[in-house]
Structure 1
Amino acid sequence: MNAPDTLIRPDPATLAQHVAATWDRDIIRELTDYIAIPAKSPMFDADWAAHGHLDTVVRRAADWVRERHVPGLTLEIVQLHDAAGRRRTPVLFFEVAATRHETAVGTAQQPTVLMYGHLDKQPEFTGWRADLGPWTPKRIDERLYGRGGADDGYAVYAAIAAIEALKAQGSPHPRIVGLIETGEESGSDDLPFYVEALRERLGDVSLVVCLDSGAGNYEQLWLTTSLRGLVSGALKVEVLEEGVHSGDASGVVPSSFRILRHLLDRLEDSATGRLLPGAFHVEIPAARLAQARATAAVLGDEVWKRQPWACGAEGLPVLPMTDDPVEALLGRTWRPTLSVTGAEGLPPLSSAGNVLRPFTAFKLSLRLPPTVDANAAAEHLKTLLEADAPYRARVSFQPDGRAGAWGASGWDAPELAPWLEQAMDRASHDQFGAPLGYIGQGGTIPLMNLLQKSFPRAQMMVCGVLGPKSNAHGPNEFIDLAYARRLTAAVAQVIAAHP
């Protein structure tokens, strides 16, 4: 018999074979069925409870897990209600008992691995290829297309596959819990209530494995080191009660579009895209600069060439804001950036007559450096845009969310414990044949701050399958199945290495 503190390391090749078989035999079929269900997040489906799609994907995932009969695993669908009696988005919670000597102590004292994922989806969006669609899953070679497969419906299935692979080899593992939510794409507003309600059952979380992030390429394991924050909202400029003939009114009535442009000039240098207020900028930590340089050396020009550039002047592709890979990485991870993601008050070209419009409204998306407080940034942005309106126009900026919670702050990963860094690098070499990569992500995952605050001593392994051109939230989203198999095996290796 092994001494209690001796770990039986799983054989990487056998682990990879078991995981691949599970994916090919079971997970791809389940994921295909999942993609076909329009389980849009509540922000994009106000009647989600009546439509029942979120309940369906949670129930299907729960049924699949139960049918696996994983030794030591218990599972339930947890349903909370708010103070008014309204349903919160449901959560899938599972627990797998430890197979090491920790089983002799209480749950609260056992080191625990928390595996996180979500089953809600972004809306359809436009621009899908003629042979593809958000709810029409289609496999082409090693890519499975459709909304939500990569972001990140695969997570619960991959988590169980990793646990099964360890058990198949008799490899000891710590206590493992899973938390699969259905409100992530809406900002995880319900997740804090579930974390609090399940706190005792979650136990002493020492490692969080979040499967909702991305990869710099498909050739190695990538660890997410930071996430940007986000403030979004509607900026509206009103000048008239109704539209009027532009020939009669232009030159007298100021254009709402021109006023809106003027307001945005307070925020952004339109020639360079640089955000002007100093409050939105931070000094980039030296360690993150070093990691960006190392990642740029691996990815090179693919940092910017991976985008689906349109054909521009002289038939050549549109140019990036910078072709320096280091600057491109920092631009999408540690520097604030403004995007206009929607508009109202502008009729389609086919029905745009000679009318001076009464208002123009833009949906603004302001990405923030990981360490900027998003709520403070939202307050600053609102004041900046609404103050001293030109021509006394009616100007309003309404941030998404509610007062006091107008933004989603970013996240900068805590310092890595040596055991975790070594385990991830070993897993990357074993499963991919390449070292661990480090990359900041330009997106926002609000739950990471919640998990960090809830489990301040926990290490964080944030990773995922959203690699080049996978295009989460946009058209033609896909999951790279070969990468997903190897990532699953790598996660299993890291869990087995938990000290």
Structure 2
Amino acid sequence: MNARDPQLPLQADEASALGEFAARVWDEEIVPALTQYIAIPAKSPMFDADWAANGHIEKVLRDAATWVESKKVAGLKLEVIRIPGRTPVIFFEVPATKAGSEDSIVLYGHLDKQPEFNGWRADLGPWTPKYEDGKLYGRGGADDGYAIYASLTAIMALDKQGIPRPRCVGIIETCEESGSYDLPAYIDMLKPRLGNVSLVVCLDSGAGDYEQLWMTTSLRGMVSGVLKVEVLTEGIHSGDASGVVPSSFRVLRQVLDRLEDSKTGRLLPDSFHCEIPADRIAQAQATAAILKDEVYKRMPWACGADGGPVLPMTAEPVEVLLNRTWRPTLSVTGVDGFPELKSAGNVLRPFTAFKLSLRLPPVIDGNNAALELKKLLEDNAPYNANVTFTPDGRAGALGATGWNTPDLSPWLSEAINTASQTHFGKPVGYIGQGGTIPLMSMLQKGFPKAQMMVCGVLGPKSNAHGPNEFLHVPYGKRLTAAVAQVMAAHP
């Protein structure tokens, strides 16, 4: 049994030791491990249909599992769990060191990655890691290959000093970037082994800056899929066909006009909107006071028509924050049916296809939204064109539902603020995120009384999914120590 009184708060020297331990492990072990991880193109199944045969996901999974097992944490048990036909999951558990504790802390992350994308700096690339000025560049390090390494380091930091903590359980999936469609089956399988989950620590989120600990208060849902308009069975000379055959691109524009006001970007169906809770508006106001116009200036704006930068949809910081967290927005993330410019002859194309990404407010049901979107886009097609919308969702869910954090208990609110003050020198910040982590709504439904600590290293210009993605290593070190301190404060 641990000799330290678990009721006592951490002393300054103990908290400092957590930070020193985390920093040392990051420098000596985590950065080298992530450097190897970044070099492996472990793309998520949506972007690598032959993921099983290619073996990249298996490689990063095995590397991470081997690293965890090599730490020889007392009582640690690790399994790679496999359901036939699904991406595998790492499940590990470490027994409590706090006497009488019957609760479990769930630590979550993922190892699959987004695809390459273009526009990388000449000396960088998605699979060519580079450590420069405290930033580790390459795909997946920050989003969020670091999570399993940081999670175990937080546990080790506490155990090294004999600071009691509850039982810890890790769930590391390999399908998150495809919408976590395999995860529900594993959650159902593992639920009896998770125990009494009272805290979930998710390290797959973002930060408003690198100066303080940031807690994620909400995540948007998402419907993604392919909208396709077909008008011909083959391309026809545009001089012969134009004026007779309706352009598939024009038909697609008409169909999208049902969904979005192209002048403002506002989504037209009322059912895709919700009333923004008053406490989230208040938090956005507080965050805007901290970040000011950096909430939009952080974007890599192109040079505009007058020589200045392209303008944001709004320059009001509070509205920027609410737009990217609580209001629905449409993005076109891919196209098909278009030849490259150098090969584009005078041909009226037979079809146009857009990959749509529709971000939804946190409390809108993703599956219902996907069904409504399909009906909206497909019904009463102009010119009787063949219009289809095929959602990406699988396993019975056509869209992902977002998440709005439950009210923080007094102990957690105090613990995260103390941890931020200790390791960053500033109070905790609260910010909604525009992305989607499907696990959070799953766990909140399965464990409605659990507290949620959702945070991450994706701060300004870290650019997850895009070119020049990087992991801010100094922030990762402090975040790891802060997570350890919050775990120590668990009642």
Query: 1:263-317 CA distances to partner (integer Å, 9 max, x unpaired)?
Result: 1111111111111111111010001000000000000000000000000112111
Contact 2:332 2:355 in 1 (8 A): yes
Counterparts of 1:324 and 1:230, CA distance in 2: 25
Counterpart of 1:330, as a letter, is: L
Contact 2:9 2:489 in 1 (8 A): no
Counterpart of 1:316, as a letter, is: G
Contact 2:223 2:369 in 1 (8 A): yes
1:316 counterpart = 2:308: yes
Counterparts of 1:19 and 1:440, CA distance in 2: 27
1:440 is paired with a residue whose SS is strand
Query: Which residue number in structure 2 is paired with residue 223 of structure 1?
Result: 215
Give the alignment partner of residue 489 of structure 1, picking from 471, 481, 486.
Answer: 481
Contact 1:125 1:473 in 2 (8 A): yes
Give the alignment partner of residue 53 of structure 1, picking from 41, 53, 56.
Answer: 56
Contact 1:15 1:165 in 2 (8 A): yes
Counterparts of 2:9 and 2:373, CA distance in 1: 54
Q: Which moved more, 1:291-300 or 1:252-261?
A: 252-261
Query: 1:35-55 CA distances to partner (integer Å, 9 max, x unpaired)?
Result: 111111111111111111111
Q: 1:488 to 1:403 in 2, by over 3 A?
A: closer
Q: 1:36 to 1:402 in 2, by over 3 A?
A: closer
1:174 counterpart = 2:166: yes
Give the alignment partner of residue 386 of structure 1, picking from 378, 396, 401.
Answer: 378
Query: Which residue number in structure 1 is paired with residue 413 of structure 2?
Result: 421
Counterparts of 2:59 and 2:129, CA distance in 1: 17
Query: Which residue number in structure 2 is paired with residue 107 of structure 1?
Result: none
Q: 1:36 to 1:243 in 2, by over 3 A?
A: same
Give the alignment partner of residue 209 of structure 1, picking from 201, 208, 226.
Answer: 201
Residue identity (%): 69
Q: 1:136 to 1:454 in 2, by over 3 A?
A: same
1:404, distance to aligned residue in structure 2 (A): 4.5
2:306 is paired with a residue whose SS is helix
Counterparts of 2:452 and 2:105, CA distance in 1: 10
Give the alignment partner of residue 152 of structure 1, picking from 116, 120, 144.
Answer: 144
Query: 1:416-452 CA distances to partner (integer Å, 9 max, x unpaired)?
Result: 1010010000000000011111010001111111111
Query: Which residue number in structure 2 is paired with residue 353 of structure 1?
Result: 345
The number of residues matched between the two structures is: 488
1:75, distance to aligned residue in structure 2 (A): 1.6
1:72, distance to aligned residue in structure 2 (A): 2.6
Query: Which residue number in structure 2 is paired with residue 337 of structure 1?
Result: 329
Q: 1:380 to 1:358 in 2, by over 3 A?
A: same
Contact 1:7 1:172 in 2 (8 A): no
Counterpart of 1:16, as a letter, is: G
Contact 2:209 2:459 in 1 (8 A): yes
* TM-score of the superposed pair, with normalisation by structure 1: 0.95
Query: 1:289-347 CA distances to partner (integer Å, 9 max, x unpaired)?
Result: 00000000000000000000000112111000000000000000000101111111111
1:7, distance to aligned residue in structure 2 (A): 3.8
Contact 1:181 1:191 in 2 (8 A): yes
Query: Which residue number in structure 1 is paired with residue 240 of structure 2?
Result: 248
- Equivalent residue runs for 1:20-59 within 5 Å: 20-59=23-62
Query: Which residue number in structure 2 is paired with residue 89 of structure 1?
Result: 87
1:270 counterpart = 2:268: no
Query: Which residue number in structure 2 is paired with residue 106 of structure 1?
Result: none
Counterparts of 2:242 and 2:257, CA distance in 1: 22
2:169 is paired with a residue whose SS is strand
- The gaps in structure 1 that reach 5 residues or longer are 104-109
Give the alignment partner of residue 458 of structure 1, picking from 436, 439, 450.
Answer: 450
Query: 1:188-226 CA distances to partner (integer Å, 9 max, x unpaired)?
Result: 122222222222221111000001000000000000110
1:14 counterpart = 2:17: yes
Contact 1:112 1:204 in 2 (8 A): yes
Contact 2:34 2:141 in 1 (8 A): yes
* TM-score of the superposed pair, with normalisation by structure 2: 0.97
1:403, distance to aligned residue in structure 2 (A): 8.3
Aligned-pair Cα RMSD in Å: 1.4
Contact 2:409 2:451 in 1 (8 A): yes
Counterparts of 1:443 and 1:348, CA distance in 2: 31
1:4, distance to aligned residue in structure 2 (A): 6.7
1:32 is paired with a residue whose SS is helix
Q: Which moved more, 1:467-476 or 1:381-390?
A: 381-390
Counterpart of 1:93, as a letter, is: F
Query: Which residue number in structure 2 is paired with residue 73 of structure 1?
Result: 76
Contact 2:181 2:394 in 1 (8 A): no
2:261 is paired with a residue whose SS is coil
Counterparts of 2:390 and 2:316, CA distance in 1: 36
- Equivalent residue runs for 1:228-243 within 5 Å: 228-243=220-235
Counterparts of 1:147 and 1:13, CA distance in 2: 31
2:258 is paired with a residue whose SS is helix
